[in-house]
Chain A
Amino acid sequence: MALPSQSTSLPAKPHRFRREPSEGWLAVMLLAPAALLLCGILLFPMITTLRDSLFVNKLTEPGLGTPFVGFQQYVQMFGDPRFGQALRNTLFFGVLTVVGSFLVGIPMALAAHTPSRLRGLARVALLLPWAMPPVITGLIFAWLFNGQYGVFNDLLVRTGIIQEPLRWLSTPGLAVAAMVVTIVWKTSSFVALIVLGGLQGIPRELTEAADVDGATRVQSFFRIILPMLAPSLAVAFIFRSISAVQVFDIPYTFIQQAPAQGLLETLGVYIYRTSIEFLDFGYAATLSVALFAVSLAVTAVYVRFVRGGD
């Protein structure tokens, strides 16, 4: 304040630079490679998918050519019971696994947040499910749920909860439960990480003050910590919802081992099979647009949240 110099006011008056052309060009040059990569590899193929959904394109029937059929494949999709089932499965798994990942993830974050000599180890335990390749998670849990020698069966029999080993993957209801457990194990980490970030942002003084005022830990958790975590929880919720809708790898590995296929087939798996196994590119594009629409609906909620939060 004592210095009369104006040259240091650069950060305070950023708009001064807006009219300098060099700044604009610099921005364009810095942003161009990212824009190019995103548009070329993500946006352009997505637009191609929109177009493809209006054309029949079956590699198994090359004689058909690729005629324009307008929205005919959309009509076909809404009458397709397999699509209906896949959509219901996706939403069903989505709701169960998102809720499950919060019920497991929040206590995980609280455990990892408490100061302890084991904190480093706790952090690795927290990160491991998140960082593990999803296909490998699927394989590992398929083995844990093995109908004959699986460790889950062993533990349940030893504790007397069940008498005989259960054939988890070949019993429809149990296969669904096994897949939900697997996805919840894999995704709770993500919720825990975001919540942990939120917890680290809460000043200690707040809970200490509540402590001094005689609040119990449970009271200060629900009255102070949880409300302050609201933004983190909202972010985690949206990202989890989107990844839940798009889930592919874990159902794919489970289906390889489980005859209860119809119940495990998500929209992602159905799209994969339509394109790679049935080679029906046109209809796969239509299904992709449907999945994209579902993702977009969730994204719209997110954008609203970000805009509202600013």
Chain B
Amino acid sequence: MEDAPPRLSPLERAGRWLGLAALIVGGFFPFIWMVLTSIKTEGELQKFPVQYLPSALNFANYAQVFTEQPFARFFFNSLTVSLLSTVLAIVVAAPAAYALSRLNIRGRGVLLTVVVAFSMFPVVSLLVPLFRLMRGASLLNSYPALILPYAALSLPVAILTLVAFFSSIPRDLESAAMVDGSTRFGALTRVVLPLSAPGVVTAALLVFVNSWNEFLLALSFNTRLSMRTVSVGVTLYQGEFAFPWPLIAAAVVIATVPIVVLIAVFQKRFVAGLTAGGVKA
């Protein structure tokens, strides 16, 4: 039994499958439960013991999500704000990360520590001063009111991820190009940039997820209904005393789908990027 190391005892094998099953069920169940809730009727919901599966597929709740609140508009707002925050954060973070990982800057360690320190600002502490700043600049109820803080709040994690990634690209490749007569800029655009595409994608995904999920600033800065984002939008279906759960569940599912698709498609990149950015910071 001990001659081949990868062989597992039946007990270990069972333990491994149990662990995997627990992880998969535990991770997915709350979301699956919302999907099931969203296609039930109010009557099916008010049963105890719980009726686990709906008797019929019922998509009326999904239609109602869009008629009761301007949810399509919320969705468009979230998409716009998250995409533009991502572009801004990457355009600003990439040069900074390049400088921190490639140029010989004195006090590089101190600068990286400062970047880490910035990632520790409590957002709620910035609420009032940022609110005043945005009001002063007449930006309340506009996309920049969210894009600027989202980009800034995600900047530290974007920079750290990119620094970790750039540092893993061998310098020799660049210097070889420069020795061959390329300028530094040429080496950057033709050698470093194509190689760093996966790192940029990871950082961009992180900023996008952060921006899509943000709640506090969106709740406070963009109070006009037409400027609401999805994360605030899902909370608007509850009445003062009533919680129309099938409706809320449908809204929750719609709001979460982009995130689920993103992590399903980019799961490898997320794991690689998060661990690199977190551990090497």
Is there a chain B Cβ closer than 8 Å to A107's Cβ?
Answer: yes
Interface residue B31 (Cβ < 8 Å from any Cβ of A): yes
CA distance A193 to B116 in the complex (A): 19
On chain A, the residues within 8 Å of B270 by CB distance are: 123, 127, 131, 193
Q: A128 with B128: in contact, given A8-B179, A38-B118, A197-B278 (CB under 8 Å)?
A: no
Q: Is B5 an interface residue (CB 8 A)?
A: yes
Stretch in A44-52, A63-71, A77-85 with 4+ CB within 8 Å of B: A44-52
Can you list 6 pairs linking A and B with CB atoms under 8 Å apart?
A33-B92, A123-B268, A132-B31, A157-B49, A249-B216, A303-B116
State how many angstroms separate the Cβ of B278 from the closest Cβ of chain A: 5
A residues near B (Cβ < 8 Å) are 7-8, 10-11, 14-15, 17-18, 23, 26-27, 29-31, 33-35, 37-38, 40-46, 48-49, 52, 107-108, 110-112, 114, 116, 118, 120-129, 131-137, 139-141, 143-144, 146, 148-149, 151, 153-154, 157-158, 165, 185, 189, 193-194, 196-198, 200-201, 208, 211-212, 214, 217, 231-232, 235-236, 239, 242, 245-246, 248-249, 252-253, 256-257, 268, 271-272, 275-276, 281, 284-285, 288-289, 291-292, 295-296, 298-299, 302-303, 306-307, 310
Total interface residues on B, CB under 8 Å, equals 103
Question: Given A43-B118, A139-B248, A299-B120, 9 other A-B contacts at CB below 8 A?
Answer: A10-B178, A41-B130, A49-B125, A107-B22, A148-B48, A197-B275, A197-B279, A235-B278, A248-B216
Nearest residue (CB) in A for B50 is: A154
- The answer to whether B98 and A30 touch across the interface, beta carbons within 8 angstroms, is yes
With A8-B175, A23-B104 already in contact, the answer to whether A299 and B117 are too (CB < 8 A) is yes
- 1/0 per residue, CB under 8 A from A, across B115-126: the answer is 011101111111
Q: How far is the CA of A8 from the CA of B179 in the complex (A)?
A: 7
Closest to A299 in B: B120
Tell me whether B216 and A27 are in contact (CB under 8 A): no
| Cα distance, A236 to B127, chains bound together (Å) | 26
Q: Which 6 pairs between the two chains have the least Cβ-Cβ distance?
A: A197-B275, A125-B27, A45-B129, A288-B125, A41-B152, A111-B19
Contacts A46-B129, A124-B263, A126-B27 given; does A37 touch B92 at CB 8 Å? yes
B residues with CB within 8 A of A: 2, 5, 12, 16, 19-20, 22-24, 26-28, 30-31, 33-34, 37, 45-50, 91-93, 95-96, 98-100, 103-106, 109, 111, 113, 116-118, 120-130, 132-133, 148-149, 151-153, 155-156, 159, 171-172, 175-176, 178-179, 184, 209, 212-213, 215-216, 220, 230-232, 234-235, 238, 243, 245, 248-249, 252, 255-256, 259-260, 262-264, 267-268, 270-271, 274-276, 278-279, 281
Q: Which residue of B lies closest to A157 (CB)?
A: B49
Contact assessment for B264 and A124 in the assembled complex, using a CB-CB cutoff below 8 Å: yes
Residue of A nearest to B30 (CB): A140
- Which residues on the B side are within 8 Å of A35 (C-beta)? 96
CB distance from B265 to the nearest CB of A (A): 10
Whether the pair A231, B279 counts as a contact (CB closer than 8 A) is: yes
Contact between chains at B19 and A256 (CB < 8 Å) = no
> Which of chain A's residues has its CB closest to B28's CB?
A125
- On whether the beta carbons of B99 and A128 are closer than 8 Å, the reply is no
Q: Which residues of chain A are within 8 angstroms of B264 by Cβ–Cβ distance?
A: 124
Is B23 within 8 A of A236, CB to CB? Answer: no
B256 touches A271 (CB 8 A): no
Complex Cα spacing A196 to B142, Å = 40
B203 → chain A, closest Cβ, in Å? 13
- Closest Cβ–Cβ distance, residue A242 to chain B (whole Å): 5
Residues of B within 8 A of A135 (CB): 213, 215, 231-232, 234-235
Nearest-Cβ distance from residue B239 to partner chain A, whole angstroms: 11
B34: which A residues are within 8 A, CB to CB?
140, 143
Question: Contacting A131 at CB < 8 Å: which of B124, B231, B249, B262?
Answer: B262
Complex: chain B residue closest to A310, CB-CB: B109
- Check A292/B122 contact, CB under 8 A, given A11-B172, A140-B31: yes
Contact A124 B267 (CB under 8 A): yes
Q: Chain A contacts of B255 at CB under 8 A? A: 133, 136
* Distance A128 CA – B263 CA, assembled complex (angstroms): 7
Assess whether B216 is in contact with A26, with CB atoms less than 8 Å apart: no
CA distance A111 to B104 in the complex (A): 41
Distance in Å from the Cβ of A210 to the closest Cβ of chain B?
10
* Alpha-carbon distance between A87 and B125 when the two chains are bound, in angstroms: 15
Known interface pairs A31-B99, A111-B23. Does A37 touch B155 (Cβ–Cβ under 8 Å)?
yes
Do B279 and A217 touch (CB < 8 A)? Answer: no
Known A34-B93, A249-B216; contact A45-B133, beta-carbon cutoff 8 A: yes
In the bound complex, what is the Cα–Cα distance between A129 and B26 (angstroms)?
Answer: 9
User: Which chain A residue has the least Cβ–Cβ distance from B205?
Assistant: A131
In Å, the complex CA distance between A134 and B71 comes to 19
Contact across chains for B103 and A158 when beta carbons are under 8 A apart? no
Bound-state CA distance A42–B281 (Å) is 20
A122 and B259 contacting across the interface, CB-CB below 8 Å: no
Q: Are A198 and B99 in contact (CB under 8 A)?
A: no
